[in-house]
């Protein structure tokens, strides 16, 4: 009986450890820091071992298409500074990271001196 419980426990621990690793690779946790003079937005994300590529896209918050990548920093990078922004404009960024064959994506909306979002729609 004790042996069966130990085997079950070992199996559950094994699954829990590997489940978290996969989900961490499937998402990119983003944060943004803004600066008004000179105007810039700095995107930051935690480092991930075995990262092979990072690609950054930007669009206007009201835009419908991502278009081409604006940057492809080194795989070891943990931040990107966007200096080609306009104060008062709201941007949305998409960061795509490939690590161990798993593609992770993160999104963030930010801008310098932009109005806060005060209406988010309806809950369905």
| Domains parsed from the chain with CATH numbers | 24-110 (2.60.40.10)
Please write the tens of the pLDDT for every residue from 81-95.
999 999 999 999 999
Average pLDDT over residues 6-29: 64
- CA–CA gap between residue 79 and residue 94 (Å, rounded): 13
Average pLDDT over residues 56-73: 97
Model-wide pTM > 0.85? no
Query: pLDDT at residue 59 above 70?
Result: yes
Query: pLDDT at residue 30 above 90?
Result: yes
Note the pLDDT of residue 19. 47
């Amino acid at each position: 009986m004790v042996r069966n419980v130990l085997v079950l426990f070992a199996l559950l621990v094994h699954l829990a450890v590997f489940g978290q690793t996969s989900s961490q690779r499937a998402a990119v946790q983003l944060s943004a820091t803004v600066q008004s003079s000179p105007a810039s937005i700095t995107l930051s994300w935690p480092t991930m071992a075995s990262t092979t590529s990072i690609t950054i896209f930007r669009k206007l918050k009201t835009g419908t298409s991502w278009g081409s990548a604006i940057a492809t920093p080194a795989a070891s990078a943990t931040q990107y500074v966007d200096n080609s922004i306009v104060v008062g404009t709201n941007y949305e960024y998409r960061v795509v990271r490939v690590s161990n064959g798993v593609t992770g994506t993160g999104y963030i909306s930010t801008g310098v001196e932009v109005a806060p979002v005060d209406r988010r729609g309806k809950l369905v």
